[in-house]
Amino acid sequence: MQLIHRISEMREWIKTERYKGNKIGLVPTMGYLHEGHLSLVEKARKQNQAVVMSIFVNPLQFGPQEDYQSYPRDLQKDCDSAEKAGVDVVFNPSVEEMYLRYPPYTTVCIEEITKYLCGKSRPGHFQGVATVVSKLFNIVQPDRAYFGQKDYQQLIVIKTLVEDLNIPVAIEGVPIKREKDGLAVSSRNVYLSGEEREQAVCLYEALMLCQDLYMRGERGREKLIQAMKERILQESKATIDYVEVCDTRTLVPVSKINTPAVAALAVKIGNTRLIDNVILGGDKNAEEDA
């Protein structure tokens, strides 16, 4: 496996792979790899002859009071994990390499679907995501790129970006990886204390309660949201950012579920903000066709 830091070197590597006729899969990450990231690599490995993983903690998607400086980083461990998983190249540029000037003069702004969920509570976040992903697509020029369903809104944002700008990349969604007790794996889980880790399972349990109510015939948004909030607020360390039920494609909140919906939530456990979601109705992996 190669570790590349420069855009020019990355492009040369891509040129060689293209000359061989190889399909290229891209797995964009911010590093501190976990099983969720490795499940993206597993799918990419099956569908492509060459797999590139980017590791770049993108400052443009962090707000002024967010955890950019303290975001967990361990490049050597990440490279070891990536190599074992079958990654061919880790692309790890510096901020100066990725952004000629910072903040950049040119950014990519996604409207409408960023009004809700994390877009509402984290202004500018998805502008940063769309900008850095656009840059990665231009640098790597992959055939396919892989994103997890845990960041459901991000998945929809990237699919919209590709559709609206006619970017020739197939976006592949990959189901959420979970711990044994249901907590979605996340790089930020490392922030949790022992007590907080125990309480963090309330996100998953709230979503399972919502799903159970849905399966038993409940279709009203307010009742589903209330049930989820009541479960979460049983925990002393939990503070709700949002709990919502939205259309799977537009992310517009629905009053009553008549078509597939996503129950999504963001909760702070202590000082750690966690997100999770579950699809209600239709195919469990409906996000792949969103």
**Catalytic amino acids?**
37
Per-residue burial over 103-128, b = 16 or more CB atoms within 10 Å of its CB, e = otherwise: eeeeebebeebbebbbbeebebbbbb
148 and 174 in contact (C-beta within 8 Å)? Answer: yes
Side-chain-facing half-sphere of 172: CA atoms under 13 Å = 21
Rounded to the nearest angstrom, the gap between the alpha carbon of residue 236 and the centroid of all alpha carbons in its chain is 27
Give the tokens for residue 78: 């990440």
> With 0-12 CB in 10 A as exposed, 13-18 as middle and 19+ as buried, what is 279?
buried
Task: Write the CA distances from 169 to 63, 137, 156, 281, integer angstroms.
Answer: 28, 8, 14, 28
Residues 6+ apart with CB under 8 A from 57: 30, 31, 68, 71, 73
In angstroms, the CA 260 to CA 249 distance is: 9
Residues 6+ apart with CB under 8 A from 54: 26, 27, 28, 29, 90, 91, 92, 93, 136, 140
The secondary structure element, H or E, covering residue 283 is none
197 and 184 in contact (C-beta within 8 Å)? Answer: no
Place of tokens 């979970």: 178
